[in-house]
Structure 1
Amino acid sequence: MMLRIPLNLGLLLLLCAGGATALAPAEATGAPCGGLWARCLESKCCATPELTCYEKDHRYAQCRPTGNCRPGFHHEDPVQTPWSCVVLTSPAPAPGPGPAPPPAAPAPPAPAPAPAPAPAPGPAPAPAPPPPPQQCVDKGQHCVDWAMAGECEKNAAYMHEFCMKSCNLCGNLFTNSEEGTAAAPAAAGDGSSNHAAGSSNAIDSSLRGGR
């Protein structure tokens, strides 16, 4: 009887240890992701994207703020063993950016420039000055005699250019009436006749006296 009790107790201890070992994988499989400072050796995940599961050693891992793990000893640890800070799992991905905003409406086209006003009309050009009045003169010293002899009609091309006054081509400068135009040659003819008659009388008188 004395020997059987220790054997039964040892067997019981072995059975309990084996049962605990057999149940460990099942618990690890269903372990939820832990929060800040929670153990994560079994789950190898953390509950929020801001946390990462860092390994201290092969027996302990902890969810710590991402980037907050320094390899070596930490004075605040109750068990002073160095941290390896091996990342057992990547942090949960951060939520992606929201949908892109719709494109902005195109700017309205710039208004067309107003047409330039038509230039104001400039002053009208001044009318050309009238040609200077033509001088109505006789350019030859015998124009009067030639006109009285009828050369204004016989030799019109020459007389109308060089004897305008004697040919009565000056309008009001010489005479304004047909009577004056006709009278001038007549008067000139009468003078010429009188001059010729006087010359004949003088010649006759000289001849009689000579006799």
Structure 2
Amino acid sequence: MRQATIRTHVRLPVRLPGGQVTTARLFTFDGLADGREHIVLGLGDRSEPAAACGPGVPLVRVHSECLTGDVLGSRRCDCGPQLDDSLDRLASEGGYLLYLRQEGRGIGLYAKIDAYALQDDGLDTFDANVALGYPADGRDYAVAAQMLQALGIGEVRLLTNNPDKTSQLTRLGIGVVEQVPMTVHLTPSNRAYLAAKQARSGEPIRPVRPTRAPARRGSARRPS
């Protein structure tokens, strides 16, 4: 795996899901394996350059882009609420959000919407991707490992329920010293989606703590 380097890092004032404002450190990179524009956001005690390689094993969330969930507030998945939870926790404890441009588990935005149509006809989220000629889950976390290595990070506490993220990062040379569980935001709208994730990838469907009211995210992150 080739080495990536930090291209730019800037201070970025950000509003967290609850409405409070903090300052993050936004990193971009050169030399990423897939040529896409992935980013890292350093939060809490990792928001300053001097702390970027600071002591201790950092908390890290690897989050794949989901325009419908992260931005539009879709309830078909729990991506938006998980992003909010990650930002809250990383800002409180200090750590990094790796935001990867891997929409639809790697198939792209338009193809994901096509997959939604097939799901409406009865296929699950994985079989819909396959029916369109794509892998059930085409995400590759090599760029995540590259970005972590560019930041001087060799070990992480990984904020995820997805065992594939842990196994891929481990194979790529990143030590996952702890897999920290995420809240599962189970709703009537995403029950079938989460059940498919549990059956096909081993992610839990039982909420690990009470689901946050959806109005909190919408009031803080979407314009009226």
TM class by smaller structure = under 0.3
TM-score, normalised to structure 2, is 0.17
Per chain length, whose mean CA-contact separation is higher, i.e. which structure has more relative contact order (CA < 8 Å, sep 6+)? Answer: 2
TM-score, normalised to structure 1, is 0.18
- Which entry has the higher C-alpha Rg, 1 or 2? 1
Structure that is richer in strand per residue: 2
